Structures are given as C-alpha cells and as structure tokens.
Amino acid sequence: MQSRKIGVLLGGLSSEREVSLRTGEAVLNALRERGHDAIPVYVDHDIDVALRQEQIDVAFIALHGRWGEDGCIQGLLELLGIPYTGSDVMASALAMHKGKAKELFRLNNLPTPAYYTLTAEDAADLVAVHGDFGFPCVVKPIREGSSVGVTICHSLADLAPAVEKALCFDDELLVERFIVGKEVSVAILGDRALGACEIAPRAGFYDYQNKYTKGATDYFVPPRLSPERYRGVLAQALRAHLALGCNGASRVDMMVSESGNEFILEVNTVPGLTPTSLLPKIADAAGISFGELCELMLAGATLSTRRGRNERRVVQRPYVEDERREAEANTH
C-alpha cells in the first residue's frame, strides 16, 4: 500500500484554481507525513502527457470546479486506467450540474428549493421569464462552485445585473427561491454521514469572501439544531449523495428553514480539504484527523470501469442468449 506512487492532482483550469492549490498542498503534506510516496501533479491542458510521464499508480483528485470536479478528469483517468478518489464520471457530472442534480433530487423525493433555468437568450426578456416567481431569489451559474457568480436578488432591479454577472461564468443559469434559515453543510464519507457544520456568516451570505476570509464566518459543529432535526438533516444529505451515485467523500450544502423544512442546495464531490475547510472540521469532530481523512479517501480510490466490466458480463450473457434464440426461431 505504502509503496504505491500517488499523484495529487491540483491546480486545474477552473475559477477555483487557487482553492484547489491550497487543497492539493494540504493533502500532499498530509500523505507525505504519513509515509506515502506522493507527488504533486499540476493540472493544465497537458495533463494527459504529465500523467503518462509520472507513471502514478493512483490519483488523489484535489481539483475543484469545471474539468476537475465534473467528470472530465475522471474520464481521462478511466481511459488511462488510473484509479482515483471520489465520485465516478457520471456522478461527478451530475453533481456539478445543479439543474440535473435538482431533477434527480426531485425524482428521489428529496426537498430542494423551487427553481427555473435560464439561458443567455432568455435574458433579453427577464420580466416575462421571471413572471410571478417572486423575490428574494438566488441567481447562480449552473456549473460553478465557491459561490462564484452567485447573487441574492431582492427585487426586479437586482435581477438583470445578477444574470449578467452569472452569465460570465456559464451560459446556463439557475434562479432559485431564497430560503430563510440556517445554512448547514453535511460531510459524507464512504456512504456514511460523519456529521455537519452550521455556517453563520457575520454579514451577508456565504459568498466567496465569507468562505475564504479568516474570521468572516462563524462555524458550529454540530449545528445548533435539535437532535431529532439534526438526524433528519444527516439522513437527507446521505440520500442526496446516494441519489447522484456519489462515491467516497462529499459535502452536501443545505438550508434548514425556519418553518421546519430542509432543502438541498447541492452536493460537492471534491470538497475543500485545507485544514480549515468544512469537511476536515466535521471529520475532526467525529474523531478523524486530517491525515486519517486523506488516508480514508485514498483507500476508496477506484476505477468504475473495472466494476462496470464485471457487471456488464453478468447482464450481457442472458441478452446474447435471448438474441441467439430469437435468431434461431426466425430461421425455422
């Protein structure tokens, strides 16, 4: 186990590159401290060449956002036969696309705020498109992270600038009902909810600034909820992780409303992993140190095509047999 060469994939091409560098460096240090042969693999357009040259045995994905968290890098690793941490191609793509993820939450009877989607063409007639959806609402790019391009709108006057800003990051947007209540993020590891953290920004909402500025946000682990409510939140989050087919570690962002309902905002398949990030905070409260957390994530590294090949063999046999029988019947 210790002799495997681990590549920590960091950097990347998304708007969350800086966060990824911090996540990757923290993971690299933790794995090396625990005696692993781990090297950094900086991700850019030449990542295929870098992966072939470095000859790593396993990839620890420390990439956030587009191309790193959305199934792209996972697909490349599948092609190269390199096992990797976290969710597979499909679950990564679904979780990254907030619209598709919400469709799946609804199909699985999981509560998520009311919403509609919007493209650049729709932006020409926002009043008609928004209709009686109401305010406040939240405008966000459909495939971003770290609150990049997210705006809370209180009136029609806020809508056009919010849409314009979000369109800088994606050509499809989500307009969602604003939920008043506590923000709670749940840590999932290996199909188990480890615990949760309540997020209370001192001013405004949990935007990029409040996420990454020291002292700007207060965190409560566990959240200030009744034990019964807390159990319900953990169960919903785990169901959201499973509904998208996620694997390994993920972090489920939720709003717990004042009226007593929970709403799932999104599932993050590559949660931040700096020692001050939410997942490590929650893991720590559950008795799992940062080093152990990295170790557990690494232990879950896999290739979905390996599993898929065995499964396909099982389902293909009766299918081929049926076809043969059908062909025989037709010739008689």
Ligand X SMILES: Nc1ncnc2c1ncn2[C@@H]1O[C@H](COP(=O)(O)OP(=O)(O)O)[C@@H](O)[C@H]1O
Binding to ligand X by residue 147, rule CB under 6 A? yes
Task: Between 59 and 256, name the residue whose CB sits nearer to ligand X.
Answer: 256
Binding to ligand X by residue 219, rule CB under 6 A? no
Binding to ligand X by residue 144, rule CB under 6 A? yes
Binding to ligand X by residue 179, rule CB under 6 A? yes
- Torsion angle of alpha carbons 133, 138, 144, 147, nearest 10°? 180
Position 65, amino acid: G
Stretch of 25-33, 101-109, 117-125, 174-182 contacting ligand X, by CB under 6 A: 174-182
Site for Mg ion in 265-294 (CB under 5 A): none
Question: Could you give the CA distance from residue 196 to residue 219 in angstroms, rounded to a whole number?
Answer: 10
Active site residue 272: yes
Task: Between 77 and 189, name the residue whose CB sits nearer to Mg ion.
Answer: 189
Query: Do 172 and 142 meet the contact criterion of CB atoms below 8 Å apart?
Result: yes
Q: Residue number with the shortest CB distance to ligand X?
A: 206
Q: Is the peptide bond before 222 cis (omega within 30 degrees of 0)?
A: yes
Binding to ligand X by residue 253, rule CB under 6 A? yes
Q: Which of 15, 268, 277, 304 is catalytic?
A: 268
Stretch of 71-79, 148-156, 253-261, 295-303 contacting Mg ion, by CB under 5 A: 253-261
Q: Which of 69, 144, 170, 253 is catalytic?
A: 253
Active site residue 253: yes
Stretch of 44-52, 74-82, 178-186, 231-239 contacting ligand X, by CB under 6 A: 178-186
Q: Which does 138 bind (CB under 5 to 8 A by kind): Mg ion, ligand X, none?
A: ligand X
Stretch of 44-52, 143-151, 153-161, 234-242 contacting ligand X, by CB under 6 A: 143-151
Which of 266, 273, 279, 293 binds ligand X (CB under 6 A)? It is 266
Question: Could you give the CA distance from residue 231 to residue 227 in angstroms, rounded to a whole number?
Answer: 6
Query: Do 244 and 226 meet the contact criterion of CB atoms below 8 Å apart?
Result: no
Which of 7, 145, 248, 271 binds ligand X (CB under 6 A)? It is 145
Task: Between 198 and 266, name the residue whose CB sits nearer to ligand X.
Answer: 266
The distance of closest approach from Cβ of residue 176 to Mg ion in the complex, given in angstroms and rounded to an integer, is 12
- Token pair belonging to 183: 């923000």
Active site residue 268: yes
Task: Between 40 and 111, name the residue whose CB sits nearer to ligand X.
Answer: 111
Positions in the binding site for ligand X (CB under 6 A): 113, 138, 140, 144-148, 150, 176-179, 183, 205-206, 253, 255, 265-266
Positions in the binding site for Mg ion (CB under 5 A): 253
